[in-house]
Amino acid sequence: MKKITLVFLLLISFSLGLVHAAEVKVASVSFHSKDQSYNIPKMSEISVIAAKNGAKLVVFPEMASTGFLYSSLNEAKPNLDTFPGKATAAFGKVAQQSNIYIAWGYIELDSATGVAYNSAAIVGPNGFKGNYRKHQLAVGDDNLWRAPGNLGFPVFDTPIGRIALLVCYDDTQLQSLLLPALRNADIIAYPTASLYVPKAEAGGADNHTTIGSMATMPGWIGINVVGADSSGVDVNPMSGTNLIGPAGSAIWDAQGNVLAAASATNFTDPKQPKVIYATINTSKPNPQREFWLKNRRPELYSDYNFYRPSHDGNVNKTSAQISALLVQYEPTTGAVDENSEKIEKLINDKITGQGINLAVLPFNSFIGNVTITKENASNFAEPLNGKSYNIAANLAKKYQVNLLFSMPESTDGKLYETAILFDFKGKQIGLYRKSHLNAVEKTWATAGNELPVFNSPLGRIGILLNDEVRIPEVTDMYMLKRANLLLVPVAYNQKEYGGDVKVPKGLIFEESNKGMFIWFSMAQHSQAHTLVANYVRGAHGDIGQSALYSLVPEEGFYPPSIAPKNKEIAHQVVFATNQNLNLWTNQQQKVVERIWQAALPLTLDKDNACLQEWQKNSTSPLICKGAYQ
């Protein structure tokens, strides 16, 4: 009797969404949208087939049920929908009969206000339905007759997991993914329609391949993503230009692995509806997300709450020509003299007769990639103006380069992980103390309490030390503080975090489809050139691959420049800042477009009553409602 009662209670709990299925089969559909009379029956038919193939969640592209190439609200009106509306009624029947969840994009007309939104909805069995309105609207496109979303970032608790919705251009802002993740979302259903024209035609530089851009994000945020993109060829009614939906719909797990990907389309082969399937496991251990949530420091992220316009006094729009050396070498643990001599030789071999103006050294630059602990920290820490400091300053002066190195610092009885930036005269122009410490560092080091950006002749410079690249908010803060460069000394062996860039084939140039996905995404989302210096081999088994990541690597204009995997080298990279203003995005555009009012939860401590209420009521757009106002 007790066993029967327990089973009954579990069934009840599951039906109420209190117990989640660990493994869930999902489907993503590359779909060519027309008008409602075609779209809704066709999408219903595809959903039934997907359910018969075992899918419990089916995701369709952006504006799939209504169509989307409308130049005005009046032109779109015959195909607009409401929530609830035609699509929720039709798909709701399918969801009930097939016991599945269906998510899709549509153009929503709010019947109470007459305002239109670019929305996504989800329906399921037993009358379940949820709605989301796209926040991030592309300047000059989405926002011509549609309004930014006002429903927040809801997370819907279902028996197959906690599901959030995002739409297309939402992916341009890290906060769009961080907010649902902070609400403990298991899955993001991601409808998109990234239409594009050939690179050779006018407007080709404005293309934004959203599936390609999203590809490096799931493993950084630690969340499963089901992305569905449009397919087929259409004509833009405003310009008469042919546009193609690239398809390439993809499914990623929370570790960043591509579980399934549809083939990409082109103008000579505009493939029609294609359904892909994968099984995701929402209970699988998620070390990256755990690290992020445990070590994030909301008190340092107050810039999220402020609107930073284009006339922000911190902006540096001057183009700087940069020729940098990213020094990677095999260290001898603790041998400061030996290691510094090796570094100097690598620099000297490259710098003769060339105009190098920047050098970046690996993490704890002269002592090697040894793990520092409470027991050995005092053996490696040095004061400012001590031996290692002066070696680095003299290198900068001797070779007339701006130089960044890092070391364990001992000052006034406290220990820090510290980076020092010198100008070409060997003068200190920046000092950064690591602000996000990992579990081992917390046993011996004191955290810095600032995320400073340093002005230099090369532009505005932000610094991240080693594994604090795992905290996405740091990248966002440097974007909002208008850094031109991110300098990243690391000791990276690809075991604790990260992994290779794996954009589904055919969506971006293969020359760009490489590197480490976190560093790749940092450059995208900060719109700051990101320079990483790593070791090879040594005590930590590091892999090299020091690299420059550009502002738009996903579009192939400036592919990553990556040093060999296990070679000692001062890897030279040459580039110019502030040269991407004619491409699909830039830092100023990202800063101005950001819906800053939505970011407040990211700045609240985990014990804050407002944050806890927001997390508990996971579909509410409000913060600090009721007693907390």
Residue 289 host element (H or E): helix 287-295
Query: Which amino acid, one-letter code, is at 460?
Result: R
Longest dimension (CA), the chain: 86
Average pLDDT along the chain: 91
Q: Collect all residues with Cβ–Cβ distance below 8 Å to 517 and sequence separation of at least 6.
A: 215, 216, 219, 220, 256, 498, 499, 500, 501, 502
Task: Look at residue 3 and tell me whether its pLDDT is greater than 70.
Answer: no
What is 21-285's CATH superfamily?
Carbon-nitrogen hydrolase (3.60.110.10)
Edge-to-edge, what's the strand order for the sheet holding 547-549?
A: 453-456, 459-463, 485-489, 529-533, 547-549, 561-562
pTM: 0.94
Which amino acid is it at 151? L
**Average pLDDT over every residue of 483-511:** 93
Does residue 511 contact residue 479 with C-beta atoms inside 8 Å?
A: no
C-alpha to C-alpha distances, 186 to 15, 59, 176, 177, 600, nearest whole angstrom: 17, 15, 15, 12, 21
Q: How many angstroms separate the CA atoms of 68 and 238, rounded?
A: 12
- In the three-class reduction of DSSP (H, G, I as helix; E, B as strand; rest coil), residue 300 is classed as helix
8 Å CB contact between 568 and 546: no
In angstroms, the CA 323 to CA 303 distance is 31
Torsion angles phi and psi, residue 35, rounded to 5: -120, 175
Residue 464 pLDDT greater than 50, yes or no: yes
Question: Which of the pair, 161 or 271, is modelled with greater confidence?
Answer: 161
- In single-letter form, the type of residue at position 311 comes to H
Q: Which residues contact 178 (CB under 8 A, 6 or more apart)?
A: 221, 472, 473, 602
- The CATH number given to 303-593 is 3.60.110.10
428 token code pair:
């200190």
Active centre residues (catalytic): 62, 134, 168
Which residues, in sequence order, are bridge partners of residue 132? Answer: 120
Mean pLDDT of 554-583: 88
The pLDDT, as a whole number, for residue 552 is 84
% the chain with pLDDT above 70: 91
* pLDDT surpassing 90 at residue 452: yes
Q: Which residues contact 101 (CB under 8 A, 6 or more apart)?
A: 56, 57, 58, 95, 122, 123, 124, 125, 128, 158, 160, 163
**Checking DSSP bridges between strand 358-360 and strand 321-328, what pairing results, if any?**
parallel
pLDDT digits (tens, 9 = 90+) for 32-79: 999 999 999 999 999 999 999 999 999 999 999 999 888 889 999 999
Whole-number Å distance between alpha carbons of 139 and 155: 27
Residue 471 CA to residue 222 CA, distance in Å, equals: 11
Q: What phi and psi values does residue 547 have, to the nearest 5 degrees?
A: -160, 155
**Cβ neighbours for 628, distance < 8 A, ≥ 6 positions apart:** 609, 610, 613
The span from the CA of 546 to the CA of 84, in Å, is 52
Topology agreement, domain 21-285 and domain 303-593: yes
Look up residue 274 and give its two tokens: 């294609």
Q: What is the mean pLDDT of residues 492-516?
A: 92
Band (392; pLDDT cuts 50, 70, 90): very high
Q: Which residues are registered as beta bridge partners of 234?
A: 243
Put residue 423 in one of left, alpha, beta given phi > 0 → left and psi -120 to 50 → alpha.
beta
In the chain, what percentage of residues exceed pLDDT 90? 76
- Domain range summary for the chain, segments of one domain joined by +: 21-285, 303-593, 597-629
Cβ contact 154:164 at 8 Å: yes
* Predicted confidence (pLDDT) at residue 20 exceeds the cutoff of 90: no
Residues 202-244: tens digit of each pLDDT: 666 666 778 888 999 999 999 999 999 998 888 777 677 777 7
Please, are residues 591 and 308 in contact by the beta-carbon 8 Å criterion? yes
